[in-house]
Structure 1
Amino acid sequence: MQIFRLPLLERYVFRRALMLLLLVLGALVATMWMTQVLRELDVVTAKGQAIWMFVFMTLLALPALIQVIAPIAYLIAATVTLNNLNADSELPVMAAAGASSRVVARPIIVLGAVILVAVTLLYHVVAPASLGALREIVAHVRADLLATLVKDGGFRTVDNGLTLHIRAKAPDGSFKNIFVSDDRIPSDSTQYIAKTGVLVESGGNAYLIMKDGELVRDNRMKGETSVVEFDTYGFDLSQFKAGEVNATRKPRELTTRELLNPAPDNPYREEFPTRWKAELHDRITAPLYTIAFAFIALLFCGRARTNRQDRGYATALAVVSGFTLRGLGFGVLAAATNDATLIPLLYAVPIGGIVVSALALKRGYRWRTPVGIARFLDTLARLGHKLMKLSPLALFQRKSTGHA
């Protein structure tokens, strides 16, 4: 592979950028996982599923997060790596030793190409397949309300006005200390209290057979309460049993092959044809931002700079330019899902970023802090220096020095 044919200095730059990329990508994915994927926790806990189901669901959602975050993580890693090489005087030493600019540019571009291939695979195959599997699991979990009823411990609301509590579940599958509150009819309130019970399924129907209990019915219209003891009572649970799950997958949950050859019974193809097209073209154009980010990082931070040549400004400008370009791409995608005439802009934004940054890099543009910004920063620095002199610690040090 071309990666392993890189000369020593280029392998060094590639290794530093790769290590930082993995660190940034891991941090960003963990943050997005905590803020976005945990929304599925209520689906799992409310329906009585095990914790391993939640873990599996979060893993299925990771590829969709990585495909968006990986290019951004690459931009940050490439920019910070080049800035650190300048800060450690490694880029100036390489330039002074006669090393070509390719020593820095080629490993950054090679790493970008690796990310491009990985992101392309995620967009076209891995992420859609994972999201499709996740959608089917969520649909089954939400549909299987009967699984909620057979769990012991806690009060579970399985329908509007219907609450069930099972204190314990015996090893043989039977239940102990059952309480059912049925307030679905506004005029009547019924409670079932039984010592034991068992779940019976027969002929496609499900019944909670309660034994040795009482039925308490409160007629709110008449203000009367009646109590009936029973030896055996069957409560019909068939209406809560999971039926056939129709997990129709959206365009982003279909692989590219399935998008090109859609199933005839998929309603999204006919109902949202523009969204269908926009999804397909986004998968082609989204990985191109990685190459644009490579040229942006090299444009602003790829040349040797001293500490007096505005390295901080160049680094900030590289990150802001990359984020602005990607944000513009997201905005175009949102608009193109409703207007098919805007789909060509999905190509224009990343390709335009690549062309502009590559031409600027080739012509050797150097970016310096504008005079106005430089003066503003100098003013802030002088103000900060004066405030430090007025701090209690500075006053204490001056008094200590005077006594000495």
Structure 2
Amino acid sequence: AGLGALTGIVWITQALRQIDLMTSKGQSLLVFFTITGLTVPSLLAVIAPVALFVGVLYSLNRLNGDSELVVMSASGISPSRLLRPFLLLFAMVYLLVAGLYVEIMPRSFDAIEALTALIRADFITNFARPGVFNEVTSGFIFHYRERGSDGSLRGVFMQDRRDPAHITTYISEVGKTVTRDGETYLVLSRGTYQRPERSGDSAIVTFDNYAIDLSQFVRKEETIKRPRERTTAELMRFDPKDPSGARQIGRIRGELIDRLASPLYAFAAGLIGFAALGEARTTRQGRGVATGIAVLLFLVLRMLGVAVTSLVVSDPHAAILAFALPLLACAAALDAIYGGPLRRALREGRRQFAAKAA
């Protein structure tokens, strides 16, 4: 329930950011909910460990508040034994998050990009207003004088300024849209195409018919997939010598490590929460202090994880830290639960705190 509520709240904030699809791009509610729905996997992947952490703290706090943990402890049930059903829950959340990161999220991001291409193509052909210079995407301007009775566009002007060194301009008398194999093309008739030459001059080419693939304007880096849109198998098989992604080697490495390491935070989140409140406590003040420390530790751990993931982009050796952080957190939490040195230190700290409070 908590996971669903948190996901719903964050999804609403994301949906409000996409309201531009209906207002300025003229899209239907179906398209709006489709593209915002495709963001749910990425939201779930981030929220699930947090929801697990909150759920563990809430459940154990209730058990403590109702004195049920005290009864369990008195009957000989140790915190390590109580941990067993929780470990099953942690494993389920881990598998969910791993599946989202490794398989579902890359496909959803790729689907978003493909749908965005269709939206922009649809915007050009059906919703762009005549006589207005419409910026379809950053650096790409589209304009037409009027729409003919047959649906064709008259007086078409297009300028691609995404690469300042290679500004291209298209001018034609007539433009018509054609869809083939799921791709939308704008066929320009009786016009000119202006492009820069290496000498610095501009070359003007006259044409009778010229077809432009409108989906090309969805990506800033032509047809090169961004790391988050590549499947995990593609990231693993990526050839550093491949010129198509030579500039993305660091980002590809960071994306792969993030997908493999991030699910481990589900175990870390659950174990930290259990280590904080898994032992019977009779005072509300003690539970409050333990909860506050657990929240602080989890926040610090997650922020360090984000920082290390960013570091992996520039330093391959940081990949070890990306896995070490959640694993060390799990080890420390298990040590506290099973009565290791850390647990003894925590008990001593609580006794000193209680003595000072008294």
**Is this a same-fold pair by TM over 0.5?**
yes
Letter aligned with residue 339 of structure 1: D
**Map 1:4-403 → 2, pairs under 5 A:** 23-149=1-127, 157-158=133-134, 162=143, 205=187, 242=214, 244=216, 246-262=222-238, 269-307=245-283, 310-363=286-339, 364-365=343-344, 366=347, 368=350, 371=353
Letter aligned with residue 123 of structure 1: Y
- 1:321 Cα offset (Å): 1.1
Tell me which residue corresponds to 2:198: none
- For residues 14-53 of structure 1, what are the alpha-carbon distances to aligned partners after superposition, in whole Å with 9 as ceiling and x for unaligned? xxxxxxxxx2212222232233353333245422221211
Distance 2:242 2:41 in 1: 24
Distance 1:200 1:282 in 2: 44
- Quickly say closer, same or farther: Cα 1:298–1:205, change in 2 above 3 A: closer
Distance 1:131 1:347 in 2: 24
- For residues 185-233 of structure 1, what are the alpha-carbon distances to aligned partners after superposition, in whole Å with 9 as ceiling and x for unaligned? xxxxxxxxxxxxx9966996369xxxxxxxxxxxxxxxxxxxxxxxxxx
Asked if the contact 2:176/2:186 (under 8 Å) is kept, the reply is: no
- Quickly say closer, same or farther: Cα 1:201–1:108, change in 2 above 3 A: closer
- For residues 40-98 of structure 1, what are the alpha-carbon distances to aligned partners after superposition, in whole Å with 9 as ceiling and x for unaligned? 33245422221211100011111011111111111111111111110111111222233
Letter aligned with residue 105 of structure 1: L
- 1:256 Cα offset (Å): 0.9
The structure that has the greater radius of gyration is 1
- 1:142 Cα offset (Å): 2.3
Tell me which residue corresponds to 2:168: none
**Helix, strand or coil for the counterpart of 2:13?**
helix
Structure 1 stretch 137-146 or stretch 283-292: which is displaced more? 137-146
Asked if the contact 2:3/2:51 (under 8 Å) is kept, the reply is: yes
Letter aligned with residue 331 of structure 1: A
Tell me which residue corresponds to 2:201: none
% identical equivalent positions: 32
Distance 2:126 2:216 in 1: 17
- For residues 90-148 of structure 1, what are the alpha-carbon distances to aligned partners after superposition, in whole Å with 9 as ceiling and x for unaligned? 11122223334345211211100000011111111011111111112112322444334
- Quickly say closer, same or farther: Cα 1:69–1:251, change in 2 above 3 A: same
- Quickly say closer, same or farther: Cα 1:98–1:328, change in 2 above 3 A: same
Distance 1:298 1:333 in 2: 26
Asked if the contact 2:254/2:313 (under 8 Å) is kept, the reply is: yes
Q: How many residues align?
A: 304
- 1:260 Cα offset (Å): 1.7
Asked if the contact 2:131/2:143 (under 8 Å) is kept, the reply is: no
Distance 1:78 1:56 in 2: 33
Letter aligned with residue 2 of structure 2: V
**Helix, strand or coil for the counterpart of 2:134?**
strand
RMSD (Å) for aligned C-alpha atoms: 3.9
- Quickly say closer, same or farther: Cα 1:80–1:165, change in 2 above 3 A: farther
Unaligned runs of 5+ in 1: 1-22, 185-197, 208-237, 379-404
- Quickly say closer, same or farther: Cα 1:263–1:103, change in 2 above 3 A: same
- Quickly say closer, same or farther: Cα 1:138–1:148, change in 2 above 3 A: same
Distance 2:10 2:82 in 1: 31
TM-score, normalised relative to structure 2: 0.71
- For residues 300-339 of structure 1, what are the alpha-carbon distances to aligned partners after superposition, in whole Å with 9 as ceiling and x for unaligned? 1001111256111111211221121111101111122222
Distance 1:102 1:372 in 2: 25
Distance 1:304 1:280 in 2: 41
Unaligned runs of 5+ in 2: 136-140, 160-173, 179-184, 190-209
Structure 1 stretch 43-52 or stretch 79-88: which is displaced more? 43-52
